[in-house]
Chain A
């Protein structure tokens, strides 16, 4: 690809997804009954809801399904596939709007996803669901508001909710947890803001709300959650109706906030924790990926951060620069590694790390595509990443670049 900067990575194909190349934070792979590999992608925003792309041959991806959102004041942003079920998160721009919540689809015929149910989490103070995790076919773990949840600060509206979808036609909430002090009526005082912003600015930072909640079959009694300015927490969810805090780690302040993902490496007793860059031109630098020693689960110790290129060079390039999503080692048709980490860093592209020595993560490969056509910023903005068990890497641009299929010589 002309203009790309790379090391040990090769672009196999790019697909701008029928001109709607805005990729949100949902990428999940289905092996269809006929053997095709279908990559499901949630769009960053309207008008599209989600797309299905046949990536059986990653050199020739092909969109086979693309759906529209009900209206322009909402986004889907996040989805997950388990078997032939797909869960999609819906978030509206203004509390009180609908539809807001989680929709479950039967995707056994990928060209024709069929809605099975909708779990409504709308409410006067709710924007619905921003992000979800669904890897066991049984429970959706998501960041959402709810009709009965009045946040003490308008941007603290999305908490941790566990939804039982074992009967996918009848999803039901079975548990929830929120950061103490973020709900009106809590005994705890509201948390002190890290970087206070005006109250009428709903999206973005200055929030004590959930982003990612990761729960793995290796430890079904643990939820690893990124609570934005509340930092990283490990919850005991052995009793899903009453999650309890096991431990917490929060570098914000002095760091500028927005803990995004908490990924455990079970066989190594480590956590990889990402922040999310949310302001263009690195105005919110430094947004880092952290390595945490979790040998003692109740005493999390940061031991290193992942190297990324100099902010002096990448900050002025335009768009966001810094950490965001990583390949989350989810079960399924997914590459799993506790020694190699795949991350996306907006204008610093896709970056791969060898973490055999966790005190010194090492960049072993990267790919930075040129700015895609018609993007609203001057750089590619790699927003999400998924790696299949064959080692094929799928990454998405936030605005117009769509899907990049890559392979790495690692």
Chain B
């Protein structure tokens, strides 16, 4: 068990998924999460400047137990599990977010295939056989950044209700370890004045909070444009090993020690 972690003042609380009352979600989970030294639950992320990147294999978001992980035979099933779980974390009636998530995971899958030679070479340089079934280059899939759908970012109001906690909504949120990427899908819904004001307030308060607007098209494929792609591509950079979906910190350290490769960006 890690030491209880003090929440830094600049911590960003992000309620995501299907939560209807973000304030309630924070009230119910934040203290327990902090006390446990964790930063991610199935509906709440606590992001501080020193929080590692939130990835598909970050613990906490999927409620994946070791037993369940053992039942997932290989990266294909694990990725299917991620798709299913993210879908369940997304409100029923927001098709653009669902399309974005599907396209994002397609992109991750394709990107790993594109980078296969480099990833296999990296495994070999770490002393792992590239041709083995476990681990495989496809285990890098789960180093992809975790997309947090329907995210409500808490901030302290400086307006009429000074001191009150308000929430800015974005469609998908990523934490890269350095910056928050807040994706706003521009579709058939115009923002209300309060939505604009709230997002601007978070941007002003958080220097590493970057809002990326993406046109949401109803017609067929919705691509993931630059500069978001640039941020998402190569999200395994700095990671020495592929960990698959279930990433036990202790196991990670053990493997790392065995291959004498320093772990970065855990």
**A-side interface residues toward B, CB under 8 Å?**
218, 265-270, 293, 295, 329, 335-340, 356-358, 360, 389, 391, 409-410
* Nearest CB in chain A: distance from B221 CB, A: 16
B94-120 near A? 1/0 per residue, CB < 8 Å:
111000000000000000000000000
Residues in A with CB closer than 8 Å to B165 are none
Residues in A with CB closer than 8 Å to B93 are 265, 268-270, 293, 295, 358
* B218-A266 in contact (CB<8A): yes
Q: Contacting A267 at CB < 8 Å: which of B94, B190, B193, B194?
A: B94
* A267-B20 in contact (CB<8A): no
Interface residues of B in 196-225 (CB under 8 A from A): 216, 218
* A410-B189 in contact (CB<8A): no
Give the interface residue-count category, chain B: 10 to 19
Q: Does B68 contact A (CB under 8 A)?
A: no
11 contacts between A and B (CB under 8 A): A266-B218, A267-B94, A267-B96, A267-B218, A269-B95, A293-B93, A338-B188, A338-B189, A340-B192, A391-B193, A409-B194
Q: Once the chains are docked, how many angstroms separate the CA of A337 from the CA of B193?
A: 13
Q: Does B4 contact A (CB under 8 A)?
A: no
Q: Once the chains are docked, how many angstroms separate the CA of A218 from the CA of B187?
A: 11
Residues in A with CB closer than 8 Å to B192 are 337, 340, 391, 410
Residues in A with CB closer than 8 Å to B92 are 295
The answer to whether residues A357 and B190 also contact, given A218-B218, A269-B95 and a CB cut-off of 8 A, is: no
Residues in A with CB closer than 8 Å to B194 are 409-410
Residues in B with CB closer than 8 Å to A391 are 192-193
The majority secondary structure among interface residues of chain B is: loop
Q: Once the chains are docked, how many angstroms separate the CA of A389 from the CA of B91?
A: 27
**B-side interface residues toward A, CB under 8 Å?**
20, 91-96, 187-190, 192-194, 216, 218
* A266-B188 in contact (CB<8A): yes
* A337-B95 in contact (CB<8A): no
Residues in B with CB closer than 8 Å to A329 are 188
Q: Once the chains are docked, how many angstroms separate the CA of A409 from the CA of B194?
A: 7
* B189-A337 in contact (CB<8A): yes
* Nearest CB in chain B: distance from A42 CB, A: 26
Q: Once the chains are docked, how many angstroms separate the CA of A195 from the CA of B206?
A: 61
Residue ID in chain B nearest A339 by CB atoms: B189
Q: Once the chains are docked, how many angstroms separate the CA of A270 from the CA of B20?
A: 18
Most buried by B among A336, A339, A409: A339
The 10 nearest A-B residue pairs measured at CB: A268-B93, A338-B189, A337-B189, A410-B192, A267-B187, A267-B188, A339-B189, A267-B95, A267-B96, A336-B190
Residues in B with CB closer than 8 Å to A360 are 20
* Nearest CB in chain B: distance from A365 CB, A: 10
Residue ID in chain B nearest A216 by CB atoms: B188
* A335-B95 in contact (CB<8A): no
Residues in A with CB closer than 8 Å to B187 are 267, 338
* Nearest CB in chain A: distance from B99 CB, A: 9
* Nearest CB in chain B: distance from A237 CB, A: 18
Residue ID in chain A nearest B18 by CB atoms: A357
Residues in B with CB closer than 8 Å to A338 are 187-189
Residues in B with CB closer than 8 Å to A357 are 20, 91
Q: Once the chains are docked, how many angstroms separate the CA of A340 from the CA of B193?
A: 12
Residues in A with CB closer than 8 Å to B91 are 356-357
Q: Once the chains are docked, how many angstroms separate the CA of A339 from the CA of B150?
A: 13
* Nearest CB in chain B: distance from A73 CB, A: 41
Residue ID in chain B nearest A387 by CB atoms: B190
